[in-house]
Amino acid sequence: MGLFDGKVAIVTGAGRGIGREEALLLAKEGAAVVVNDLGGARTGEGSDVGPAQQVVDEIVAAGGRAAANTDDCSSWTGAEAMVNQAIETFGSLDILVNNAGILRDKMSFNMTEEEWDAVVKVHLKGHFAPTRFAAAYWRQKSKDTGEKVNAKVVNTASESGLYGNAGQANYAAAKAGIASMTIVLARELERFGVRVNCIAPVALTRLTEDLMAPNDDLAAKLDPANIAAGVCWLASDLSEGVTGQVLKIQGGVAQIVQGWRPITEITSDSAWTIEAIAAQRATLFSKSDPGVPPFLLNISDPTA
């Protein structure tokens, strides 16, 4: 018996890297998987059916069920078609893993409009669009049956978005948006029986191989399969009750990461003045901040 027997999943960007491992593990555990991948370059240009089809072939050769999809997950019509394909081919949709991504790193003062737009579109809209159509399907299903649907969404953030990484204003803004959107979606969809969580992975893939000086030890530690285990836990009933959370996995360490919240407070009975705030600065900063963890990934040339 597999953990996902009878379930239908979509994984975006599943032709390579982390998404590939997620699709393989979901299928190994019994899910029928729509393997979405546009098949473009690391920076997002171009398209190729090869990566998605190869993963499908691998799943089918191992006795699993899968179908390739090469839609751009950040296209409204592509996202709708992808969700429809899962329902028409395999009869339902139970799990959506939003994973597809690209990088176009530049310091803010050198970034072009195109570099900003492309990265924000693939990540932020590329997460929202498939979720929007999956959510509409689950809402209708829940209304039709009068029951909760027991579905899951797993999004993909990054420590770049959680902690901020120089050279990635476009990517970090999108990833922070994805972490926030996870909380919104968890609140909106809980009533229909949908849990929404987020992974913040660190893995050696084509996105990171030139940033990490890869070696065998690092490759073993940062195997993308390691991330797939966390995503599949979030996508399974074994994580029942968990929603709106960000799980970071880096090598042998897994953490729940939580964000913005008040840590100190000052009060005033009358309208604030600049001076009144300045006078209480020490109270505002009275709690020692452990600081954000050191950053593993840094663009090699900070002026690039």
Specify the stretch interacting with ligand NAD by CB under 6 A; choose among 16-24, 53-61, 268-276, 287-295. Answer: 16-24
Angle (deg, nearest 10), helices 17-28 and 50-61: 20
- Is 177 an interacting residue with respect to ligand NAD (CB under 6 A)? no
Q: Which residues pair with 253 in a beta bridge?
A: 250
The site string for ligand NAD over 194-233 (x = CB under 6 A, - otherwise) reads -------xxx-xxxx-------------------------
Copy the structure tokens of residue 85.
């394909």
- Residue of 3, 30, 42, 54 that binds ligand NAD (CB under 6 A): 42
- Is 132 an interacting residue with respect to ligand NAD (CB under 6 A)? no
- Residue of 68, 73, 149, 194 that binds ligand NAD (CB under 6 A): 73
Q: Which residues are catalytic?
A: 158, 171, 175
| SS3 readout for 82-112 | HHHHHHHHHCCCCEEECCCCCCCCECHHHCC
* Minimum CB distance to ligand NAD smaller for 201 or for 230: 201
* Minimum CB distance to ligand NAD smaller for 68 or for 207: 207
Copy the structure tokens of residue 146.
């009068």
Kindly list the distances between the CA atom of residue 239 and the CA atoms of 84, 150, 152, in Å, as whole numbers in the listed order: 27, 12, 10
# binding residues, ligand NAD (CB under 6 A): 33
Copy the structure tokens of residue 273.
């003045």
Q: Which of residues 144-163 bind ligand NAD (CB under 6 A)?
A: 156, 158
- Is 85 an interacting residue with respect to ligand NAD (CB under 6 A)? no
Task: Compute the distance between CA of residue 197 and CA of residue 186 in angstroms, rounded to an integer.
Answer: 7
- Is 191 an interacting residue with respect to ligand NAD (CB under 6 A)? no
- Residue of 7, 16, 106, 152 that binds ligand NAD (CB under 6 A): 16
Q: What is the CA radius of gyration of the chain?
A: 20
Q: Which residues contact 6 (CB under 8 A, 6 or more apart)?
A: 30
- Is 19 an interacting residue with respect to ligand NAD (CB under 6 A)? yes
- Is 44 an interacting residue with respect to ligand NAD (CB under 6 A)? yes
Whether the Cβ atoms of residue 270 and residue 141 lie closer than 8 Å to each other? no
Whether the Cβ atoms of residue 157 and residue 18 lie closer than 8 Å to each other? no
Residues that bind ligand NAD (CB under 6 A): 12-13, 15-19, 36-40, 42, 44, 51, 72-74, 99-102, 122, 126, 156, 158, 201-203, 205-208
